[in-house]
């Protein structure tokens, strides 16, 4: 596929600048008016809190937490909560904006937000994490709301944290309000299919792209970086499609077997091993950097930001990159990939399966009526295929990369809503 962009994005590893670089390119191409451009390039609300929490050793520690709402033009804002030492305001700002574009592409009636707490959950006890999560919920109780702002899990948070949030929030509001968060445990109103939804969507996006590129799944070799919620399910569904997954990785390193790795065994190994791949048998240990540069057809970065950068982009050999993680490719690396003819299915499209099923969870909570798994999966797959087509068509129409095509599709939609609603 030969495509050209006439406007070049500047390179940066700052996630917010990286988002803006692509946003500016797309804005120029569609001739976005200056007023709407100014509205969309800044978040609509930033809330920062400092949370004192009792630690198990009797001390009190202060944790910094954020909730940033980029836009609520298309509906209540939606976005996960991340626990990591890397969390800072610019990271959360970028992730919030990406959620705006992602929800527009997934065609769900939400705006974009993100939350985060700067902490190292691996060094905290369950009790400390519970007190921190409940303190954060109390501090954000006027921000969150099932018609206002709806959190969900992200890195290092999951159904357990969502259960604490729904419990704390419901106690404050004196009513049980499960729709205030998604990604809840099933017995608290979670949706069937939510846990695996992002990884499954990554597979659907990859299969749609492979059809366009005439790649046969049975002759395709894949490498998947990150083996958490997104990466492990993406690898599992790739394998189910006949794709040979030759490398997987996590924070402990990467594991390579040219004959293919048995993904279900790797998942069972990680589950029995504190969710880590250390000691995985039947694979050679390599580094995460080497995994990215392997001679594979399909590369799925599913761990974190800034993995494909100006430093390693020239060594990338995959024909197709499907971004399970948010922001794994820097804006400068994008240009090089495009010149090399490597097709990138961008994060704001490829990992939208998770927020789509989160939306289904919220709909089910509000109706008090729950769908069977087949219905969730069928609706989510159809939605991902439609989103892929919309972005593909935009990229073909404007002769730009899939990423810029995806931004163009999302920005047109949000800009139209801003113009119709107006402001005062």
Q: Which spans of this chain sit near ligand NAD (rule: CB under 6 A)? A: 153-156, 198, 225-231, 249-251, 288, 302-304, 324-326, 351, 354
Q: Is residue 297 helix, strand or coil?
A: coil
Minimum CB distance to ligand NAD smaller for 388 or for 398 = 388
Minimum CB distance to ligand NAD smaller for 65 or for 415 = 65
Residue least distant from ligand NAD (Cβ): 228
- Cα(359)–Cα(421) distance, integer angstroms: 23
The least distance separating ligand NAD from the CB of residue 133, rounded to whole angstroms, comes to 15
Minimum CB distance to ligand NAD smaller for 103 or for 180 = 103
- Cα(144)–Cα(77) distance, integer angstroms: 9
As separate numbers, helices (DSSP H) first and strands (DSSP E) second, the chain gives 14, 12
Tokens 């065994």 belong to which residue?
265
| HEC readout, 195-235 | HHHHHHHHHHHHHHHHHHCCCCHHHCEEEEECCCHHHHHHH
Q: Are 237 and 243 in contact (CB under 8 A)?
A: no
Shortest CA distance to 33 belongs to which of 412, 421, 424, 423?
412
Beta bridge partners of 285: 255
Indicate the DSSP class of residue 9. P
The least distance separating ligand NAD from the CB of residue 327, rounded to whole angstroms, comes to 7
The least distance separating ligand NAD from the CB of residue 252, rounded to whole angstroms, comes to 7
Minimum CB distance to ligand NAD smaller for 130 or for 250 = 250
Beta strand pairing status for 284-286 and 253-256?
Answer: antiparallel
- Cα(148)–Cα(116) distance, integer angstroms: 18
Shortest CA distance to 298 belongs to which of 219, 200, 232, 240?
219
Helix (H) or strand (E) holding 80: strand 77-84
The least distance separating ligand NAD from the CB of residue 3, rounded to whole angstroms, comes to 25
Catalytically annotated residue among 78, 114, 184, 413: 114
Q: Is residue 362 helix, strand or coil?
A: helix
Alpha carbon 164 to its chain's center: 22
The least distance separating ligand NAD from the CB of residue 125, rounded to whole angstroms, comes to 18
Minimum CB distance to ligand NAD smaller for 168 or for 358 = 358
265 carries an active-site annotation: no
Where does residue 292 fall: left (phi above 0), alpha (psi -120 to 50 degrees), or beta otherwise? Answer: alpha
Minimum CB distance to ligand NAD smaller for 205 or for 303 = 303
The least distance separating ligand NAD from the CB of residue 377, rounded to whole angstroms, comes to 15
Mind telling me the catalytic residues? 114
């Amino acid at each position: 596929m030969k495509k050209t962009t006439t406007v070049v994005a500047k390179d940066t590893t700052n996630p917010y600048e990286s988002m803006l670089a692509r946003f500016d390119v797309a804005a120029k191409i569609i001739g976005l008016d200056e007023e709407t451009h100014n509205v969309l390039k800044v978040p609509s609300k930033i809330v920062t809190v400092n949370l004192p929490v009792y630690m198990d050793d009797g001390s009190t520690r202060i944790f910094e937490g954020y909730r940033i709402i980029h836009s609520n033009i298309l509906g209540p804002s939606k976005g996960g909560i991340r626990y990591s030492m890397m969390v800072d305001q610019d990271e959360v700002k970028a992730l919030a904006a990406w959620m705006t574009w992602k929800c527009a592409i997934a065609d769900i009636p939400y705006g974009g937000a993100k939350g985060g707490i700067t902490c190292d959950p691996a060094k905290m006890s369950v009790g400390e994490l519970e007190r921190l999560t409940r303190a954060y919920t109390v501090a954000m109780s006027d921000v969150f709301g099932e018609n206002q702002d709806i959190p969900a899990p992200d890195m290092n948070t999951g159904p357990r944290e969502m259960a604490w949030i729904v419990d704390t929030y419901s106690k404050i509001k004196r009513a049980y309000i499960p729709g205030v968060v998604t990604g809840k445990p099933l017995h608290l109103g979670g949706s069937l299919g939510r846990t695996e939804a992002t990884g499954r969507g990554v597979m659907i996006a990859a299969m749609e792209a492979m059809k366009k590129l005439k790649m046969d799944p049975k002759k395709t070799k894949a490498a998947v970086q990150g083996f958490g919620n997104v990466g492990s399910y993406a690898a599992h569904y790739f394998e189910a499609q006949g794709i040979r997954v030759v490398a997987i990785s996590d924070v402990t390193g990467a594991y390579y077997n040219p004959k293919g790795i048995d993904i279900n065994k790797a998942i069972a190994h990680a589950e029995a091993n504190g969710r880590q791949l250390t000691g995985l048998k039947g694979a050679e240990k390599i580094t995460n950097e080497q995994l990215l540069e392997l001679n594979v057809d399909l590369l799925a970065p599913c761990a974190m930001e800034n993995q494909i950068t100006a430093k390693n982009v020239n060594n990338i050999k995959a024909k197709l990159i499907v971004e399970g993680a948010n922001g794994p490719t820097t804006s400068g690396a994008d240009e090089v990939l495009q010149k090399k003819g490597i097709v990138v299915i961008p994060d704001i499209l490829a990992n939208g399966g998770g927020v789509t099923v989160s939306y289904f969870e919220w709909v089910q909570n509000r109706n008090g009526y729950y769908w069977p798994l087949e219905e969730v999966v069928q609706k989510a797959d159809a939605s991902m295929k439609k989103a892929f087509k919309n972005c593909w068509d935009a990229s073909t129409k404007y002769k730009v990369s899939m990423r810029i095509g995806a931004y163009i599709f999302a920005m047109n939609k949000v800009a139209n809503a801003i113009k119709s609603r107006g402001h005062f």
